[in-house]
Amino acid sequence: MKLLTVVTAALAMAAPPQAVVSTQPTVAVARDSTSDVVVKPFGVGEKLTYDIKFGSLKVGTGQMQVLDTEDVRGHEAYHTLFTVQGGLPIYKVNDRYESWFDTSSMSSLRYTQNIDEGSYERQTQYEIFPDKAEYKEVNSDDPQPSVSNPLDDGSFLYFIRTVPLMVGETYTFNRYFRPDRNPVEIRVLRREKVTVPAGTFDAVVIQPVIKTTGLFADKGEAQIWLSDDSRRIMLQMTSKLSIGSLNLYLKSYQPPTTSTTGQ
């Protein structure tokens, strides 16, 4: 089993997500008291760094960050980056996952994977067209059907930070850009304090359940701790696997350096 393949899937929310059909309002982000401008819990310059452990053994470092805003086919888009580096002496990993999603609607516009794990290497890029509900793998001839307001692996982690998380509720999403991966469920389990290398935080604990046999399958018991404040940053993630436990712990947090508002 490729140990760090599981790790990278965890950091990028595996092969999951996205869609919004919820028992609660779709988005619950703050608004500027003097206007109708939405205040998002993230922005350009935000950077989170994680220790990745398999059981008690540290096997790598992960980072997730908002690099900039860029123009993608006439849309202003956040450009986010996920990286995973590390491994064991006989197995090294250096993976990159990049997402571009609309700053207003949060719909995905482009998603790339650059996977370098042991002797395996693969580069994939998807162009996603929300207005047509289609996506296309670069170097492939035919577009494929997608969904309304699509999200990819990376943009889902930012989207979920804008959703009102009420303990005891289950949120169902059908927005992952590849329809066969839908639906995704987010179960809100409890509130509690959690201590990670970055400090001690009040947290909301959620359990993602995805149509997959991997990390976030129904029997995988994966849990994610989000800070119980306006930032909703990912503090910790744990998952039970057949060969042990996989854990991510927040090591450091760098807040946004630019405005987090958007229309």
Cβ distance 71 to 60 under 8 Å?
A: no
Q: What's the pLDDT score for residue 196?
A: 97
Q: What's the pLDDT score for residue 88?
A: 76
Q: What's the pLDDT score for residue 34?
A: 35
Q: What is the mean pLDDT of the chain?
A: 81
Q: How far is CA 165 from CA 22, 84, 110, 170, 183, in A?
A: 11, 28, 27, 9, 18
CA pair distance 263, 261, nearest whole angstrom: 7
Higher pLDDT, 224 or 141: 224
- Segment 180-189 mean pLDDT: 89
What sign has the CA pseudo-torsion 182, 188, 192, 193? positive
Q: What's the pLDDT score for residue 27?
A: 39
User: Residue with structure tokens 């949120």?
Assistant: 171
Q: What's the pLDDT score for residue 2?
A: 46
255 closest CA partner among 49, 63, 43: 43
